[in-house]
Amino acid sequence: MSGHPVQLEPSWKARIGDYLQRPEMQALAAFLRAEKQAGKHIFPPGPEIFAAFEHTPFDAVRVVILGQDPYHGPGQAHGLCFSVRPGVRVPPSLENIFKELQREPGIARPDHGCLTPWAERGVLLLNSVLTVEEGRAGAHANRGWEGFTDAAIDALNHGRAGLVFLLWGAYAQRKGRLIDADRHCVLKSVHPSPLSAHRGFLGCGHFAAANRYLASRGEPPIDWSLPPHDALVATAGA
């Protein structure tokens, strides 16, 4: 997409790779190329568009967090919903996520907003729309990404059992129509945005509830803690 060869992680490619050949996805690829040729800045960078799948292969998924579209400020988006690169100021919604983690299960606020360690522990951090134009939230909505990410959720719904889906806000909950709540654990609340977090996100207990559900199935909990910035950067550079 966007001029870069598609590098969809193999286990995901086996399940949803064919979707990329659909006419609407070809039209999306052409749109992204034209936008870049027109000099528009598209986030995240091309090689990171499919980062959520790269960091969390299909059979490694244990929890799914659904976002809407990437951050649209320079240097923020890197392909994982709610996450920003190390060293980038933590956005308000992520600050509220960290507040809820402090409340329950009592995890200290990290000194950065990079959630890559979560992704590598089985938390699929999936936006519904995988690209955005700089400074224009929602600019790439209804261009085709929604059907592709629906296909990913549908594959998880039918191909896996006992996953935890965290659906924060009306947008994520509409996408949740694809999930069989008898087969998976579906947790819903308002969005962690400052506009809504105090109406139910803060106090929702989702992180602890996810781990209780996993434990009920005899599975280990998710480690929701994040390493310090310096350790994360050192690991990335190793």
Q: How far from 28 is each of 54, 93, 145, 199, 225, CA to CA, in Å?
A: 21, 28, 8, 36, 37
How far apart are the C-alpha atoms of 165 and 137, rounded to whole Å?
24
Q: Do residues 157 and 165 lie in contact, with contact meaning Cβ atoms separated by under 8 Å?
A: no
Catalytic residue among 18, 59, 69, 150: 69
Element (H, E) at 186: strand 185-189
Interior/surface letters 162-181, b for 16+ CB within 10 angstroms, e for the rest: ebbbbbbbebbbebbebbee
Element (H, E) at 208: helix 206-216
Is residue 161 classed as helix, strand or coil in its secondary structure?
coil
How far apart are the C-alpha atoms of 225 and 216, rounded to whole Å?
21
How far apart are the C-alpha atoms of 132 and 114, rounded to whole Å?
19
Residues written for the chain: 238
Q: Do residues 183 and 161 lie in contact, with contact meaning Cβ atoms separated by under 8 Å?
A: yes
- Computed from CA positions of residues 83, 62, 223, 105, in that sequence, does the dihedral angle turn out positive or negative? positive
154 is a catalytic site residue: no
Q: What residues are labeled active site? A: 69
